[in-house]
Amino acid sequence: MTLSHRAQRLEPSATLAAAAKAKKLKTEGFDILNLTLGEPDYMTPETIRKAAIKSIESGEASFYTPAAGIIELRQAVIERIRLDYGLSYDITEVAVTDGAKFALYALFQAIINAGDEVIIPTPYWVSYGEQVKLAEGKPVFVTATHEAKFKVTVDQLEKARTAQTKALILTSPSNPTGAIYSPDELEKIGNWAVSHNILIIADDIYGKLVYNGHTFTPMATISEAIRKQTVIINGVSKSYAMTGWRIGYVLGDEAIIQAIIKIASQSTSNCSAVSQYAALEALRGDQSCVEEMRQAFEQRLNVIYPKVSALPGVVLDKPEGAFYLFPNVAETMRLCGYTAIDQFVDDLLTEAQVAVVSGAGFGAPEHIRLSYASDLETLQQAIARLEEFIAIKQ
């Protein structure tokens, strides 16, 4: 049986593939330090776990839910956005999805026709381009340089714009760079998008994970015109240590949201009911767990950043948010005699037993991505191994 062209063209998720490789070696008995995955190392907070158990025992979680998600959870999302962003949304303008990842997938399915273009600032999160392609769209990559603090400008966007440009993805704080757009930068980009009727896809999933006095401004809060032009993507995975529960959400124009719900109704039916009850507690309950985890990530960043940036050849500015370091290692590779990033990453895994992700999957093949959502001891050991690896190769 030949596979569809769609499946043949699709790249597997670079981060999941790197994590799977690291896990496989670990089960074979290798002492791998895994810095590949973008997930908090914390267990989901107890109150959230208990709410899930309660929904199982009461029987509430036994049944299908509406495709858009249980009404209480949609209301909780609206309330959270009111509290965090100061914005009001109607119940018809919100949907709960199987992770933010499916929100994005369904969104592209809902808005893209064959040949429509989506502008994706690069470095980008691994799934954007592949998801656009799955919807028969064309990803248009615009490079956000290190000199520009990994942020794109309106001039660059204007050069990339064509009659087919349908949407722009804006991820702030960014995975993988940790860059955050300022209100002024957002306003310029937002007004540009409004004036050309380009949908802004604001992936706000790292919005609560900002450090050292940096602040996150959501694109949708800049002006009413920009809010109307924006679809907000978010979820509970990163802020509440709930990656395994698979709950995301999306807010925006009613017609788009209803199309997303229709797509979900014919594909997933609904997200796991028990996960929805857990997410309800996450969004409605005491928010102190979010701040506790944020502080822990901030502490880790402050400990490991100076060490990683001091590694021979590494070029790295301090990230402002998310939980990744994304150093440029071109010079490190040259010092160690490498020309290909994937070989460098492979040898780090098999020789230093440190698993990181090649920047190639993020559109930046001179970089590697290290997640610091691991405990400090693991991080420090990993850095010591990197130091040793470079010293041996040099």
Residues between 116 and 145 that touch ligand PLP (CB under 6 A) = 125
Taking the CA atoms of 124, 126, 131 and 136 in sequence, report the sign of the dihedral they define. Answer: positive
C-alpha separations of 333 from 13, 108, 154, 315 in Å: 24, 37, 33, 12
Taking the CA atoms of 334, 336, 339 and 345 in sequence, report the sign of the dihedral they define. Answer: negative
What is the nearest approach in angstroms of ligand PLP to the Cβ of residue 362?
10
Enter the tokens of residue 387. 């130091």
**Segment contacting ligand PLP (CB under 6 A): 52-60, 97-105, 110-118, 310-318?**
97-105
**Segment contacting ligand PLP (CB under 6 A): 93-101, 183-191, 254-262, 354-362?**
93-101
Nearer to ligand PLP, 70 or 169 (CB): 169
| CA 305/CA 318 separation, integer angstroms | 7
What is the nearest approach in angstroms of ligand PLP to the Cβ of residue 38?
4
Determine the 3-state secondary structure of 43 from DSSP.
coil
Nearer to ligand PLP, 21 or 246 (CB): 246
User: By rule CB under 6 A, what string of x and - marks binding of each residue 249-288 to ligand PLP?
Assistant: ----------------------------------------
Nearer to ligand PLP, 100 or 260 (CB): 100
Enter the tokens of residue 344. 């460098």
| Phi-psi category of residue 223: left, alpha or beta, with phi > 0 → left and psi -120 to 50 → alpha | beta
Give the E-state strand segments of the chain in sequence order.
33-34, 94-97, 117-122, 138-143, 165-171, 199-203, 230-235, 248-251, 324-325, 354-355, 357-358, 368-371
**Segment contacting ligand PLP (CB under 6 A): 43-51, 99-107, 184-192, 329-337?**
99-107
| CA 51/CA 54 separation, integer angstroms | 5
Residues between 216 and 245 that touch ligand PLP (CB under 6 A) = 235, 237, 243
Nearer to ligand PLP, 203 or 320 (CB): 203
Phi (first) and psi of residue 232, to 5 degrees: -95, 130
Nearer to ligand PLP, 55 or 97 (CB): 97
What is the nearest approach in angstroms of ligand PLP to the Cβ of residue 203?
5
Check if the beta carbon of residue 253 is closer than 8 Å to that of residue 81: no
Nearer to ligand PLP, 243 or 374 (CB): 243
Residues between 32 and 51 that touch ligand PLP (CB under 6 A) = 38
Q: Pick one of 248, 321, 327, 359: the residue that binds ligand PLP (CB under 6 A).
A: 248
User: By rule CB under 6 A, what string of x and - marks binding of each residue 163-202 to ligand PLP?
Assistant: --------x---x---------------------------
Nearer to ligand PLP, 326 or 389 (CB): 326
Nearer to ligand PLP, 235 or 319 (CB): 235
296 C-beta neighbours (distance < 10 Å), count: 18
Task: Give yes or no for residue 101 binding ligand PLP (CB under 6 A).
Answer: yes
What is the nearest approach in angstroms of ligand PLP to the Cβ of residue 276?
14
The length of the chain in residues reads 394
Q: Residue count at the site for ligand PLP (CB under 6 A)? A: 13
Which residues are within 8 A (CB) of 206 and not within 5 positions of it... i.e. 6 or more apart?
171, 172, 173, 174, 175, 216, 238, 321, 322, 323
CA 363 to chain CA centroid, Å, is 15
Binding site for ligand PLP (CB under 6 A): 38, 99-101, 125, 171, 175, 203, 205, 235, 237, 243, 248
